[in-house]
Structure 1
Amino acid sequence: MEPDGPAAPADTSDTEPGSTHVAKAERTLETRERILAAACEVIAEVGFEKIRMRMVAEHAGVSTALLHYHFENRERLFAEAMTHSFGQTGTELERDADTVPASVVLARILHNMLPTDPELRQDWRLWQELWVRALRDETAQQLAVDLYDQLHTWLAQAIRRGIESGEFHDCDVDATSTLLLALSDGFGIRLMLGDPRIDLPAAQAAIWRAVAGTLGVPETFPAI
C-alpha cells in the first residue's frame, strides 16, 4: 500500500490575501469535487487494489500533497468517492419528482440502479469494488449497508407517494423495495458482464413485471 504523504496546506489560492471566507470555502469545495470525480474515474478504471494516491492526484490536476491534505489515505478517499458518486445519482433522481406520476419517479430510480449509460456503468464498477472490499473489511461493509439503506429509502418514498396519491395499490412497501433492490442487483451484474441472454429493455421489463401486480399498474415499463 502506498504510504500516506505528509499533511500539506490547501491550495495557495485558498490563502491569497484579501480572500473572503466564502471564496476560500468555494475553492476548497471545488478542489474536493474535482478530486472525488477523478477518484471515481480512476478507481472504476483500474480497481481499488491497484490505485495509488499519485494516480488520482495526476488525474485531478493537483499535487499529491494537496490530495493528502483533503484525504488522509486511500480508504478515506474510496469511501468519500463512493458517497460522492451516490450523491450525484440522488440529485438526478430528485428532478421534478413532485410534478410527475409516481410510476415515472419509480421507473427513473430503477433506470438509475442499472448500468444504463457510461456514467452509471462507472458507478457500477465502483459498486463492484465496494462489494469485494466489504467481504473482508468491516468499514467497507458498513458503507455498503448504509448506501443500500439510501437506495431502499428512495424506492420506498416513491412507492409510498404512489400509494398516497392512489396511483399504487396499498402494499408492503419495505418488502417491495427489497425485491426491487435484489432484482436490480441481479440484472445489473448480468448487464455489466455482457450476458447475451439479457439486455437493458428486457431487464427493465422483467423488474417492472415483478411488482406491477403488487402496485396495481400496467406491466409495461413507464416512459421516463
Structure 2
Amino acid sequence: MSQATAETSRTRILAATCEVIGAQGIASFAVKDVARAAGVTTQLLYYHFPNREALVAAALEYANERAPSVNLLQGEPDGTGYDALRAALLAEFDDAPAVRSLNLLWNEVAASSAQQSELHPALERVTTGWDQKIAVGVLRGMVDGSLRTDLEPHLVARTLTCAVEGLSQRWLAGMMTTEQARAALDLLLSSLRGQDDGRALGRMAP
C-alpha cells in the first residue's frame, strides 16, 4: 500500500468514525459500521487503528484539526484579532452536516470520558491544544487593540472554549437554535472588546 493510498483510506475511516459516532453514540457504535461507511474492510481499519480506543482518539484529533474555531483563527489579512476570533468561534455553530458531525463526536467523547478513563488522555491533550490556539488568537487581539489589554489570554481562552462546549450541548440537543447559540456566544465576546475605530468598547474599570 502506497503512503498516499494509506493516508486517503485513513482519512476516510476517521471521517466515517465521526459520522457513525454522531449517529449511534460512542457506547454503541460498531467498528464494522465505520468500515462500511468508509468503504473499507475491517481488516484495513484495524491495520490503521488496533482497537476502538485508538480509533476514537484519532477521530477526536481529526475533528479538532478540522474545527472551525481552529482553522478560521488566522482571519482576513486586513481584519482584527477580535474579528478573527469572533468569526472562528461563531462558525462552530453551523447547520452544515460536517460541522454538526464534528461537534457530535467531541460531545460524545467528552461525555463518555468520565466512565471510559482510556479516553481521558486524548481528550485532555486535544482540549489543551484547543485552549492554546484560542489563547494565541486572544493575544493577537490584545496586541492590535481589538481586545482589552487587561485580559489574561489563557484564562479567556478556557472561558471561551468552555462556553462553546456548553452551548454546543444545548444546540445539538435542539434546545437552542443556531442563531440563539451564536447570539449567546457573541454576548460574551462583546464584553472582551477593546479599541475599535478609535472607541473603547466594553472596558472594565480596574
Alignment-mate amino acid for residue 191 of structure 1: W
In structure 2, distance between residues paired with 1:213 and 1:71:
44
Larger Rg: 1
Q: Deviations over 1:40-91 (max 9, x none)?
A: 1111111222222221111111112111111111111111111111112266
Q: Percent identity?
A: 25
In structure 1, distance between residues paired with 2:131 and 2:143:
18
* Structure 1 equivalent of residue 174 of structure 2: 194
Aligned with 2:93: secondary structure?
A: coil
Give me the TM-score of the superposition, normalised by structure 1: 0.77
Q: Deviations over 1:127-177 (max 9, x none)?
A: 222023210222312222222212212221111101111222211212222
**Contact kept? 1:160, 1:173, Cα under 8 Å:** yes
Structure 1 pair 31/150, CA: closer, same or farther in 2 (3 Å)? same
* Structure 2 equivalent of residue 6 of structure 1: none
Structure 1 pair 103/51, CA: closer, same or farther in 2 (3 Å)? same
Aligned with 2:66: secondary structure?
A: helix
Counterpart selection for 1:104 from 78, 83, 86: 83
Aligned with 2:109: secondary structure?
A: helix
Aligned with 1:160: secondary structure?
A: helix
* Structure 2 equivalent of residue 182 of structure 1: 162
* Structure 1 equivalent of residue 20 of structure 2: 42
User: What residue ranges of structure 2 are gaps of 5+ in the alignment?
Assistant: none
- For the pair 1:121 / 2:100, whether they are aligned, the reply is yes
Number of residue equivalences: 195
In structure 1, distance between residues paired with 2:41 and 2:177:
42
- For the pair 1:168 / 2:170, whether they are aligned, the reply is no
Structure 1 pair 95/48, CA: closer, same or farther in 2 (3 Å)? same
Counterpart selection for 1:203 from 168, 177, 181: 181
Structure 1 pair 116/105, CA: closer, same or farther in 2 (3 Å)? farther
Structure 1 pair 89/208, CA: closer, same or farther in 2 (3 Å)? same
**Contact kept? 1:109, 1:154, Cα under 8 Å:** no
Offset at residue 30 of structure 1 (A)? 0.8
**Contact kept? 1:163, 1:169, Cα under 8 Å:** yes
Q: CA RMSD in A?
A: 2.2
Alignment-mate amino acid for residue 177 of structure 1: A
Give me the TM-score of the superposition, normalised by structure 2: 0.83
Residues 98-107 or 125-134, more deviating: 98-107
* Structure 2 equivalent of residue 214 of structure 1: 192
**Contact kept? 2:18, 2:59, Cα under 8 Å:** yes
